[in-house]
Copies of this chain bind each other. A is one copy, B any other.
Amino acid sequence: MKALTKAEEQIMQILWDLKEGYVKEVLDKMDDPKPAYNTVSTFIRILETKGFVKHRPIGKSHQYYPIVTKDEYRSFSIRRLLSGYFGGSFTKMASFFAKEENLDAKEIERIMEEVKKDVK
């Protein structure tokens, strides 16, 4: 998988959120100052050639949807961070974060319980 550029990522975030959408709908979700309709259209077509998005023709128009899921990209992003900055170890990252946030043993445990509950 290839990393998204910043502008591409913005569009993907919206498409992940919408599940599917027309260019217009994506544009509507964008923050002001909104880019031109064609700018969004161009990026979506770039994302399509990069294999992140597909479309189904609806009449003459296109409805776009993600084919790379947000979870897949999440996973890719975590792994990139881990390998670049924590020797590939999640434990190292967690320790780093805990130290930085001054988490004490109690708080670490609370997080762990939450994770355990969630994993079930």
**Interfacial residues, chain A to chain B (CB-CB below 8 A):** 9, 13, 70-71, 73-75, 77-78, 81, 84-86, 90-91, 93-101, 103-105, 108-109, 111-112, 114-116, 118-119
User: Given the complex, which residues of B lie within 8 Å of A114, measured CB to CB?
Assistant: 91, 95
Copies in the complex: 2
Partner of A111, one of B84, B86, B91, B103: B91
Determine whether the beta carbon of B111 is less than 8 Å from that of A94: yes
Determine whether the beta carbon of B98 is less than 8 Å from that of A115: yes
What secondary structure prevails in chain A residues at the interface with B? helix
Determine whether the beta carbon of B78 is less than 8 Å from that of A93: yes
Shortest Cβ gap from A112 to chain B (Å): 4
Determine whether the beta carbon of A105 is less than 8 Å from that of B116: yes
Partner of A74, one of B78, B85, B109: B85
Determine whether the beta carbon of B119 is less than 8 Å from that of A98: yes
